[in-house]
Amino acid sequence: MSDYKKYYFSYMSIIILLLGITYTYTNLTSQKHDHRNNLLNKNKFMIKAQLKFSDKLVTVMIDTSNPVAKEFVKHMPINSIGHNIGGEVYFRTKGVDLEYDDTERSEFEMGDVTYWRSPTGEDKFAIAIFYGNTQFSNWKSPRASSPCVKIGKVIDNMEALKLAGADEDIIFSLE
């Protein structure tokens, strides 16, 4: 084979290789862009909120695709007295009487922010935030004393919840 043909085949191999790399890179970056867009679309219902007590600040994302959460944010900010009962911080939301949406349950994950209403029909409503096993838990996941509706998730400084005292002033507001 002549030197010309050797160089020609080597040159063509390099071009084909570069085209393949370019195609793969373009395909990967467009997939990454699509993935980012999907995340943005998925998160368009998320609203950032903060829970303040003592000198602590806990950041929460509220999922307003849930009808209960969407209604709840209309009542914010909430000023209340917080209670730490081991694995859970809760605070009453006086007058925030929202109907459940058939998504209520008792078992949650650490960091879940939930809306609770008294199962006995009393005029009692609260937010419960789970940071560990509760007195009702099965030691695999936190459990509420009665069904709640998940309205959000703690995204920053969950460990501060463990430090919340009894009868602590709490402000739950949109960021």
Rounded-to-integer distance, Cα 162 and Cα 144, Å:
17
Q: Is the pLDDT of residue 37 over 60?
A: no
Q: Which domain holds residue 134?
A: 45-174
Band of residue 45 on the pLDDT scale cut at 50, 70, 90: confident
8, 56: one domain: no
Q: In the predicted model, what is the mean pLDDT of the chain?
A: 83
Per-residue model confidence (pLDDT) at position 73: 95
99, 150: one domain: yes
134, 145: one domain: yes
Contact (Cβ atoms closer than 8 angstroms) between residue 78 and residue 93: yes
72, 107: one domain: yes
Q: Tell me the pTM.
A: 0.74
Residue-by-residue DSSP string for the chain: --HHHHHHHHHHHHHHHHHHHHHHHHHHHHHHHHHHHHHHHHGGGEEEEEEEETTEEEEEEEETTSHHHHHHGGG-SEEEEEEE-SSEEEEE-TT------S--EEE--TTEEEEEE-TT--S-EEEEEE-S--TT--SSS-EEEEEEEEEEEEEE-GGGGGG--TTEEEEEEE-
Q: Is the pLDDT of residue 59 over 60?
A: yes
Residues of the chain with pLDDT > 90: what percent?
62
54, 112: one domain: yes
Residues 6+ apart with CB under 8 A from 155: 59, 60, 61, 111
143, 75: one domain: yes
Parallel, antiparallel, or unpaired for β 143-156 and 105-107?
antiparallel
67, 25: one domain: no
36, 106: one domain: no
Tens-place pLDDT, residues 67-82:
999 999 999 999 999 9
33, 86: one domain: no
Rounded-to-integer distance, Cα 174 and Cα 110, Å:
21
Band of residue 35 on the pLDDT scale cut at 50, 70, 90: very low
Tens-place pLDDT, residues 136-172:
888 889 999 999 999 999 999 999 999 998 899 999 9
Per-residue model confidence (pLDDT) at position 138: 81
Instruction: Name which of 12-26, 58-72, 96-110, 160-174 the model is least confident about.
Output: 12-26
Per-residue model confidence (pLDDT) at position 26: 44
Q: Is the pLDDT of residue 107 over 80?
A: yes
Q: In this predicted model, which residue has the larger pLDDT, 49 or 35?
A: 49
36, 86: one domain: no
Residues of the chain with pLDDT > 70: what percent?
75
53, 95: one domain: yes
34, 52: one domain: no
Per-residue model confidence (pLDDT) at position 10: 61
Structural domains of the chain, count: 2
